[in-house]
């Protein structure tokens, strides 16, 4: 797996971008002009995807031919994660696979994508690892903890400390580039790190006796991933996007079915060049959401069971940590209608 996992990797970049853009939410309306059927079939829908299990899962649908079977003309374009967000922000893609937090960051920079469905939430792939003698988040008080500031595991660390009633000021936060965290963790000055897989496995090997003391599995719904669509394209192609959600439902069921799971993991692992047995761990740390799971996630409330509640939490984190100055209109960037219309 590459560096681009569920991270807020454009946070700093986009927080400085496109000053003065219209920041009001605009939910697509039926009054906007539909494109002709001929154009819809000849012009592919372009979607940026990258190296995260909930995104790579689309490879199963691609190779099984389910998109074409559904009458869809879709071109999935492979990117490093940050590059996919840049391409979407530059209107070079109709949609992008992104975290709910990064969708807010992109919107703060002036490009608003509508989250029409969620693919998954992180369920163990984001972790806090500590050296021997540190057995819980509470034990981090007074210790030096390294992570890359502004990224998704800074969010994980902040949330874990809040739940343990430890102010962030009670630890020494060490800012480190994610790929360098295993080496930083091996230094005597640092007691713990917050990091994602597969870098986490490297860190565990670097320090004998180290262990995971907290993970995204302890906070299901903290980090959602999903499909964010250009608003103009969504308004003109709603039926096609609904078909795409149905294909996703079929894909999740295929991955989760014990009879076809191994085949699905083989397809996914081949896409990223990882041994299937190793990739199985990363699939296990990703809770995929089928149509039924999406319907539950799109119920508006303040809990992490809801993509709304999760996004409210990330929105406040982003403001508190200077990723952007003014809170984003979360509700205006989530579009539950397509999921709710499907049976």
Side-chain half-sphere CA neighbours of 308 within 13 A: 14
d(CA 287, CA 103): 19
Does residue 18 or residue 81 have the better pLDDT?
81
Beta bridge partners of 60: none
pLDDT above 50 for 329: yes
Three-point CA angle 59, 63, 68, nearest 5° = 105
pLDDT tens readout for residues 209-262: 999 999 999 999 999 999 999 999 999 999 999 999 999 999 999 999 999 999
Average pLDDT of every residue of the chain:
89
**Candidate from 23-32, 167-176, 258-267 with smallest mean pLDDT:** 23-32
* Residue for token pair 């991955």: 255
What is the average pLDDT across 112-130?
97
pLDDT above 50 for 279: yes
Taking alpha carbons only, the member of 127, 133, 144, 108 closest to residue 23 is: 108
Superfamily classification of domain 11-122+221-341: Periplasmic binding protein-like II (3.40.190.10)
- HEC string of 205-255 equals HHCCCCEEEEEHHHCCCCCEEEEEEEHHHHHHCHHHHHHHHHHHHHHHHHH
Taking alpha carbons only, the member of 216, 145, 147 closest to residue 176 is: 147
pLDDT tens readout for residues 178-189: 989 999 999 999
pLDDT above 90 for 266: yes
208-236 burial code (b ≥16 CB/10 A, e <16): eebeebbbbbbbbbbbbbbbbbbbebbbb
Q: How many CB atoms lie within 10 A of CB 156?
A: 26
Beta bridge partners of 193: 129, 146
pLDDT above 50 for 3: no
Residue 187's pLDDT is: 97
pLDDT tens readout for residues 6-57: 444 443 344 334 333 333 334 444 444 444 344 445 799 999 999 999 999 9
What pLDDT band is residue 82 in, cutting at 50, 70 and 90?
confident
Which secondary-structure segment (H or E) carries 159? Answer: helix 152-163
What is the average pLDDT across 144-169?
94
d(CA 78, CA 48): 6
Identical fold between 11-122+221-341 and 126-218? yes
pLDDT tens readout for residues 294-317: 999 999 999 999 999 999 999 999
What residue ranges do the domains of the chain occupy? 11-122+221-341, 126-218
DSSP secondary structure of 270-334:
HHHT--HHHHHHHHHTEEE--HHHHHHHTS--SSTTSHHHHHHHHHHHHHHTTS-SS---SGGGB
**CATH fold label, 126-218:** D-Maltodextrin-Binding Protein; domain 2 (3.40.190)
Helices 261-272 and 238-256, axial angle in degrees (round to 10): 110
Residue 41's pLDDT is: 53
Residue 151's pLDDT is: 86
In angstroms, how far apart are the furthest CA atoms of the chain? 65
* Overall pTM surpassing 0.75 (yes/no): yes
Strand 286-288 to strand 113-122: parallel, antiparallel, or no bridges (unpaired)? antiparallel
The distance in angstroms from the start CA to the end CA of the chain is 35
Query: Strand order in 95-99's β-sheet?
Result: 74-78, 45-49, 95-99, 224-230, 113-122, 286-288
């Amino acid at each position: 797996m590459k560096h681009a996992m569920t991270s807020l990797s454009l946070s700093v970049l986009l927080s400085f971008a496109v000053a003065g853009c219209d920041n009001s939410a605009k939910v697509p309306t039926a009054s906007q002009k539909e494109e002709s059927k001929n154009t819809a079939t000849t012009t592919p829908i372009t979607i940026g995807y990258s190296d995260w299990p909930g995104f790579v899962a689309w490879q199963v649908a691609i190779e099984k031919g389910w998109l074409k079977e559904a009458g869809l003309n879709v071109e999935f374009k492979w990117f490093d994660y940050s590059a996919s967000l840049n391409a979407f922000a530059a209107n070079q893609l109709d949609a992008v696979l992104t975290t709910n937090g990064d969708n807010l960051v992109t919107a703060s920079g002036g490009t608003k994508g509508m989250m029409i469905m969620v693919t998954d939430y992180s369920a163990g792939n984001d972790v806090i690892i500590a050296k021997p003698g540190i057995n819980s988040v509470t034990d981090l008080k007074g210790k030096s903890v390294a992570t890359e500031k502004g990224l998704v595991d800074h969010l994980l660390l902040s949330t874990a400390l809040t739940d343990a009633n430890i102010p962030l000021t009670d630890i020494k936060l060490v800012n480190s580039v994610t790929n360098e965290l295993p080496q930083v963790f091996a230094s005597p000055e640092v007691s713990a790190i917050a990091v994602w897989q597969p870098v986490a496995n490297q860190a565990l090997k670097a320090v004998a006796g180290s262990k995971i003391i907290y993970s995204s599995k302890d906070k299901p719904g903290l980090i959602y991933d999903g499909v964010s669509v250009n608003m103009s394209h969504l308004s003109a192609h709603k039926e096609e996007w609904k078909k795409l959600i149905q294909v996703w439902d079929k894909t999740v069921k295929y991955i989760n079915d014990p009879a076809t799971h191994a085949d699905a993991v083989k397809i996914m692992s081949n896409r990223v060049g990882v041994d299937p047995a190793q990739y199985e761990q990363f699939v296990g740390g990703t809770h995929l959401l089928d149509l039924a799971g999406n319907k539950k996630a799109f119920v508006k409330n303040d809990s992490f069971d809801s993509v709304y509640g999760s996004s409210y939490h990330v929105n406040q984190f982003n403001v508190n940590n200077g990723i952007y100055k003014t809170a984003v209109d979360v509700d205006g960037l989530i579009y539950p209608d397509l999921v709710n219309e499907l049976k």
